[in-house]
Structure 1
Amino acid sequence: MLLWLLPGCATIPAGHTDRPVANTVGQGLLDDWLVRSDQNRTLQGLARFKVQTPERTVSGTQVVLAETPGRLRAETLSPFGTPLLIMTVSDAELAVLVTGDSRFYQGAPTPENLSRFTRLPLRPGDLVDILLQRPPVVARQSAAAYMLAEGGWKVVLESSRRRQELRFDAERRLVGVSYLSGEEPQLTVVYGDFDGTTRAAPRRIEMALPAQKIQASLAFDDLALNRQFQPEVFRQSAPAGAILMRLDEPAEDR
């Protein structure tokens, strides 16, 4: 469990309009969320995705399978439902098959390799946790809780250089989280389109990385939690005749 480090009520920062509440309220919100989110270990769904970068915007439909602690399978589909790109991430390897030109990419499951195909510079484990509505909690030296003027609560966790803000709605569901360095936001995640139950998973996830000018969204038309997957789902081998591309080799060697 996460432990509250500040006694009593928090002090309102300058210009802050939200009302501070007892730290036990914030601790309760965190505890409830952690208990609920820990029950979800896998996700499977059909989703519409959109990724905007300074260079271009990409959108389409994907079949997404995710399993904690960092296993992922994403199949980008053509308008006819056939796979255009299949990406698998296991504990040992990231592999991507581009079916149109029979190129098969292999490499370590690193943020750099993952971002080549998702445009999101995240560790696979962090991305999976975000999909499962259990984004990482930063180590912190202090914590505070506020009741928001528009309803719900905000919990703020701070260290010497980093801050995390978690927002909960009136149903005590996690609906947003921001990671900041100083006052500069590094990553923001927003959850929405719940089906009305307290324990429901969000069907819409939005992410923003302001420094890189990247925005991404995932809207699930079909979603299921805690299905059992075989390990082979998150691995793949190069099909016969495919061109092999090693992601971890220097560009001049490829």
Structure 2
Amino acid sequence: MRRPLLAALLLAAAACARRAPPPPDLSQDPAALLAAVRATQDKVRSVQGSARVRIDAPGMKVPGGLQEFVAAEKPDRLHLETLDFFGNVAAVLVASGGRFALYDAREHVLYRGEATPENVSRFLPVLLPVEELVTILCGSAPILPGRPVSVQPGDGSLLLTLAQGAVGQRLQVGELAAISSSRVRRLGRDAAGREVEDAPAYDLDLNLRRHRAGVVFPLELKLIAPSARSTVELTWGEDLDINGRVDPKLFEMNPPKGARVVELGSGQEQR
């Protein structure tokens, strides 16, 4: 990683620092802290339950929120079921084993194809690989495949910085090595040759954390995509089940009787 980007991440970490000490069980060695975070992530394998999803994006504003039934199982099994105002199914999206299907109940059309980010993110204003979306729904943040380079104190937490070339990620790590926020930044140059930073992916805030299933699990997830000027928020309902048995049939989708089937490629409708 270029030194200016690393310095900027460290400066941001210092700016976030508070007097509250970090949990005493967290290692301040970058590699050891990253290992603890990954071990915590591995404790949550699946989630399912009702949720309220709010979207604020250009051309896609849902301030009141959508009622959803959500099921996700690592690494890549996903079921999103949108209900209308009267509790009827409006749409169902499933993904598993590299395949994807989306049923639009209002149009009575089933779309299916590869589980590409373009296909899987048809409910969202942000492109996400299914594995990343499942990780987020399971209460954590996808981690860059970079090297851990530093640990700084935060507000009752530790701020772990990772580097992968010109891209850096800062993870706020709290109790039981649970991630409470993630920021990814990339260093580049503008037309005048000056060094600038941008957000190539999305930021995550994982709030309202509660002790569940042996981990500190966030009941509120907030995804912010600065470049897309988009925000997606999800709040879990009281019926959230962590690591319970998930019916494998939730991740299957056969064409409903009489539905028109549209085969999709890598993200474009085939005609």
Answer whether TM exceeds 0.5 for this pair.
Answer: yes
Letter in 2 for 1:49: V
CA distance in 1, matches of 2:16, 2:219: 28
CA distance in 1, matches of 2:40, 2:267: 43
How many Å apart are 1:135 and its aligned residue?
2.5
Q: Does 2:51 match 1:44?
A: no
Residues 180 and 187, structure 1, Cα contact 8 Å, conserved in 2: no
Q: Does 2:107 match 1:87?
A: no
Letter in 2 for 1:101: E
Give the structure, 1 or 2, with the largest relative contact order (CA under 8 Å, sep 6 or more): 2
Unaligned residue ranges in structure 2 (runs of 5+): 1-6, 188-196
Within the candidate set 81, 100, 108, 1:75 is matched to 81
Q: Does 2:120 match 1:104?
A: no
Could you say which residue in structure 2 is the equivalent of 1:5? Answer: none
Could you say which residue in structure 1 is the equivalent of 2:194? Answer: none
Q: Name the % identity.
A: 24
CA distance in 1, matches of 2:140, 2:168: 17
Letter in 1 for 2:112: Q
How many Å apart are 1:178 and its aligned residue?
1.4
How many Å apart are 1:101 and its aligned residue?
1.9
Could you say which residue in structure 2 is the equivalent of 1:174? Answer: 179
Q: TM-score of the superposition, structure 2-length normalised?
A: 0.80
CA distance in 2, matches of 1:201, 1:215: 21
CA distance in 2, matches of 1:235, 1:120: 24
CA distance in 2, matches of 1:106, 1:30: 37
Within the candidate set 139, 142, 152, 1:146 is matched to 152
Give me the CA root mean square deviation: 2.8
Residues 180 and 206, structure 2, Cα contact 8 Å, conserved in 1: yes
Q: Does 2:131 match 1:125?
A: yes
Unaligned residue ranges in structure 1 (runs of 5+): 1-9
Q: Does 2:198 match 1:184?
A: yes
Could you say which residue in structure 2 is the equivalent of 1:3? Answer: none
Could you say which residue in structure 1 is the equivalent of 2:168? Answer: 163
Within the candidate set 190, 209, 232, 2:249 is matched to 232
Residues 142 and 159, structure 1, Cα contact 8 Å, conserved in 2: no
CA distance in 1, matches of 2:125, 2:178: 28
Q: 1:43 to 1:18 in 2, by over 3 A?
A: closer
